Each structure stands twice: as C-alpha cells, then as structure tokens.
Amino acid sequence: MRTFVLAIIVFVGTLGNAYPQSSEQAVDKLGSGLSVSAGLGHLAVRDDYISDQWYSGSLPYFEASWLRRSDSSAYRLGFIYRQSSNVRNYNVSAGITEASLGLDFLSPTGSFSLLGRNVFAYCGPSAEFFVYYRQQNIASGGNALFNTYSFAMFFSAGINSTLAMPLESDFTLNLSGELNLLSFGARLTDLHDHDAKFVKFGSLLSGVRGHTELALRYDLSDVLSASAGYRFEICQSGTWSYLLAVSDNLVATVTYRL
C-alpha cells in the first residue's frame, strides 16, 4: 500500500514540475507493440462474504497487452489473468481467480530532469473491467453451499500515468500507475437479505482499485525488447461485505514492436 501511495505522490509532483516537450519525441520513449508478461506473485485477501480471516498464497501472473502510438499520443489495451487453488489460512484453502481487461490512453504532459537525465511524463484516462472469483476448498451442502463462493465484478473509470527515464546502453526505467475513480459493480450478497442490492455504484470513498509498477526495459534490437520489474495491485471495496485483496508481483515481459 505504501508503494502505491508513493507512486501517486511522485506522479502528482513530477507533473506539476514538468516543462513542455515535442509530442512526437516524447511518445517515442514509450515503446510500442505486442507484449507478453509472466510472473510470480503473492496474494493476501480478506473477503468478509466468506470469512473475516486473512488468506494468503502464491498467485501466478499472466498478461498480454498491445500499445499503439501516434504522433502525439498512445493507447494500451491489456488483458491480465491470475489463478491459484492454494490460497490458505492454516489448513483451510481456497481457489482465487482474478481477470481484468483494461484500456489506457496516454498523452505527453512534459519532461523534467532527474539525476542529470531527462524523464518523460505521460497521463490520461483509463477504463477497466475487473472480475474476482473465490471458491472455498471445503465440502458443503444445503444453504452452506452459497457461502463457499464469492464473486465481484467492477466496470471502472480512472486515470493512469507513466514516467519514462532513458538510460545508457538501450535501457529505460519506467514507473507507471493507475487509480480507478468511479465504478459500477456487482457482488454476491446474502441470499437471506432481500433488501441487499446486487449492483451498486462506487467511488474512491467506498473502495480502491489500482496498481503501480516499476520496470527496467532493455532494447534487444529494433523490434524486440525485454523488461523485468515489480508490480503492486490493490482491490478494496466496502460497498457490500468488505473485500480487500493486495498482491506483490515480480514480472518479466517481452515486447515485439509491430
């Protein structure tokens, strides 16, 4: 959580001190093309619909994305899938599946100097469809059957930002983040509570969905690059029964420039 908040503070501070730049030159620093990512992550989740206890475990990370740029802007389409059947609280385990489809728009907002190097800043709106599904690995029957499953779905709109610092020898350091501001969501509710609403609107006042990532990219050739980095994700909602899922991930990416 501290990493996510720090990234947001960095974005706000740097954008406020940026100076104008050539849009075409700035967009070129983002790189473009088709990317495939894989990584290892650790998830901690509290889902009060099933239990107020914390469950944790490994959660692999897979992503496919496409970034396309024009002379003055860029957009990125990405799909992320994560699944594990061994998220545990002592001897009780659960299966967790998370999937998201996101669309980000990026426009250059300026550049600034840091440690004697130019840092290029980008910002824009974003949209995301996110699904969370959980199944307890326990035997159940009757009404208890419904208490072994949990489901949440969010359509969200927010902002995203990226900082790119070109280094020597074809290396580029990237810091990016996204924060959803408004959402339209659905969640399983208590079947005995006839007044409970399955669908609700949400905002930053009722929950947080976002991520931040720090990665080092190396251009292997004119058409191929590879990167490695750290990614932090959070999904928190208090609109229904409380849900908080946070994860730390080490991610490797290969990008082919189209």
Give per-residue pLDDT as tens, 38-92.
999 999 999 988 888 999 999 999 999 999 887 778 889 999 999 998 899 988 8
Domain count, the chain: 1
How far is 15 from 47, CA to CA, in rounded Å? 36
Between these two residues, 196 and 185, which has the higher pLDDT value? 185
User: Any idea what the CATH number is for the domain that residue 65 is in?
Assistant: 2.40.128
215 in a domain, yes or no? Answer: yes
User: What's the mean pLDDT in 233-246?
Assistant: 88
Within a domain: residue 240?
yes
Residue 3 clears pLDDT 50, i.e. is over it: no
- 139 domain-assigned: no
Q: Supply the pLDDT for residue 139.
A: 55
More confident residue, 55 or 111: 55
* Residue 136 · residue 169 · CB < 8 Å: no
**pLDDT for residue 6 is more than 50:** no
What pLDDT, in 10s, does the model give residues 183-192? 888 887 665 5
Q: List C-alpha distances in Å: 64 to 52, 187, 221, 253.
A: 33, 26, 20, 9
Indicate the residue type of 87.
Answer: V
Please report whether residue 9 resides in a domain.
yes
First to last CA, the chain: 35
Ramachandran bin of 49, using left for φ above 0, alpha for ψ from -120 to 50, beta for the remaining angles: alpha
In a domain, 137, yes or no: no
Asked whether residue 227 is domain-assigned, the answer is yes
Asked if 179 contacts 213 with a C-beta cutoff of 8 angstroms, the reply is: no
Tokens of 244: 């908080």
Question: Is 192 part of a structural domain of the chain?
Answer: yes
In a domain, 212, yes or no: yes
pLDDT tens by residue, 25-38: 555 567 789 999 99
Domain encompassing residue 50:
2-91+104-130+156-256
By the 8 A CB rule, do 251 and 229 touch? yes
Residue 2 is predicted with a pLDDT of: 47
Q: Place 145 in a pLDDT band, splitting at 50, 70 and 90.
A: low
